[in-house]
Structures are given as C-alpha cells and as structure tokens.
Amino acid sequence: MPYELYYWDGIQGRGEFVRLALEEAGAKYIDKARSSSGAQTMMEFLKGSHGHEQTPFAPPFLKDGNVVVSHVANILLYLGSRLALVPDDEQARYLANGLQLTVTDFVAEVHDTHHPISTGDYYEDQKPEAKARATAFIRDRIPKFLGYFERILSGNPAQSDFAIGDRLSYVDLSLFQVMEGLGYAFPRAMAAASGDYPKLRKLARTVAERPNIAAYLKSDRRLPFNQSGIFRHYPELDLA
C-alpha cells in the first residue's frame, strides 16, 4: 500500500521535506491533496472526522495504513527507519531527530521573515515589519543556523560529507532543501556569502545529483518555488 502524503497543493512548503525522503528512497506514495477529492479528504482529517488518533493540527501528515503521523520531523523519524534514511542505532536516531528539529526551527524563522506579525494576514499588510525581520534574519540567523550545520558536517568523524555517519540520511535531504530555498528567497544574501558554508554547498550538489533526486527535480512532481510557500522571493526583503 503506498504512503499517502497530505499537504497543501501548489507549494513545496513543509511537505517538500517529506517528498524528498520518499523520492530518494523510491518509495511508493500518493501526494493526496494535489487532487480536489484528496484536498477534501485532507480537510476531513483536520476537522477530526477520522477520530482522535488521526487529527493532525496541520499538514503535512502521512498516512501509512491505519497510522497517521504529523509534523515533518515526526514523519521523517517514522520514515527514516522504514526507508533506510537514518542509521540503525538508537543514538544516531536521536541525533538525526535533534538536527531535524533544528531545521524545523529554522524553517519557522524563514516563514516569519514574510509574516512577522500575523500568519492570518497578507505579506502586503506587514511589509515594514517583514523588512526589519528579514534584515535581522540575514544578518544574525542565517549565519547562526548555517554556521551550526556547517560545523556538524565538518565535525562528522566519518568524514563522509554527510551529517551523520557514512551514508546519506533524511537530515541531508532537508539541508539540501534549506540551501535551495535560501538561494531562491535571498539570492543576493546567499551570493554575498558564496565563500561560506562550503560543506553545505557541496552537500547540496551531492544531493541534487543523486539519481532519484535528479529525476524528481526534473519531474512535474517537484513544484516550483513561488510566493505562497515557506521560501518566498520578495526582492525588497533580500540584501540590497
């Protein structure tokens, strides 16, 4: 039975971190909410029609038979062992989950660069505040988070150029997506930092060239970045 992924149609958003794991592993899955009936089904889950254990707070969530798992890091924890996208030992799994939760925090901060005041209002209603937040984000937060991940990649005793051990894990796929997203949203800021983060940049290239990921990126399953997702390109929020 294929996995069912539920996520808002039309955007990469947080769903993309799950798609990359499914695609890399060659797992069978249905991106359910990309059809109107699937979108309807997704809303029924959110409303609680499928009972206590299957009422996620928000997409993305994954359905695997009778199990519903919500939140990106939780889904990747679930899929990691099933798809061999995380080392087998328990300690490495907690390490991977901790790194993934750092990605989660960073992604929330990326979102808030264009929505610093209210998620329920339009970007256009909070532009001056967005500029202030994006400025602090580029100045303080990108170096803090990417600097951390760079140290993790550099410090891996396996010297594999991956985050954990000697093989690719779901954390690496998420770091690829972070680098892609930042390059889309803040091209001038990322170009200005082009000499920084060599390990992250190498990892992003390595991931992009993996056969299943390369095929996915060329397919129409990979939605383009746009101004509805998490990573948005508003030139006025980027470095001048």
What's the longest Cα–Cα distance across the chain?
51
Among 2, 35, 122, 140, binds a second copy (CB under 8 A): 140
89 binding a second copy? (CB under 8 A): no
Q: Which residue's CB is nearer to a second copy, number 50 or number 233? A: 50
Q: Which stretch binds a second copy (CB under 8 A): 27-35, 111-119, 187-195, 228-236?
A: 111-119
- 136 touching a second copy, by CB under 8 A: yes
Burial of 156 (0-12, 13-18, 19+ CB in 10 A): middle
User: What is the Cβ-side half-sphere exposure of residue 162, based on CA atoms within 13 angstroms?
Assistant: 18
Interacting residue with a second copy among 22, 42, 79, 95 (CB under 8 A): 95
Contact between 116 and a second copy by CB under 8 A: the answer reads: yes
| CB crowding 85-122: b at 16 or more within 10 Å, else e | bbbeeeeebebbbebbebbbebbebbbbbbbbeeeeee
Residues 12-51 that bind a second copy (CB under 8 A): 48, 51
Task: Report the site for a second copy in 54-73 (rule: CB under 8 A).
Answer: 55-57, 67, 69-71, 73
DSSP string, 178-239: HHHHHHHH-HHHHHHTTTS-HHHHHHHHHHHHSHHHHHHHHSTTSPPP-TTSSS---GGGS-
> Which tokens belong to 128?
């001056």
CB of 214 to a second copy, least distance (A): 29
Shortest distance (Å) from residue 212 CB to a second copy: 25
Q: Which is nearest to 178 in space by CA: 48, 43, 12?
A: 12
| Contacting residue, 22, 77, 175, 182, with a second copy by CB under 8 A | 77
Kindly list the residues in this chain that would bind a second copy in the complex (CB under 8 A): 48, 51-53, 55-57, 67, 69-71, 73-74, 77-78, 91, 94-95, 97-98, 101-102, 104-105, 108, 112, 116-121, 129, 132-133, 136, 140-141, 145, 148, 151-152, 155-157
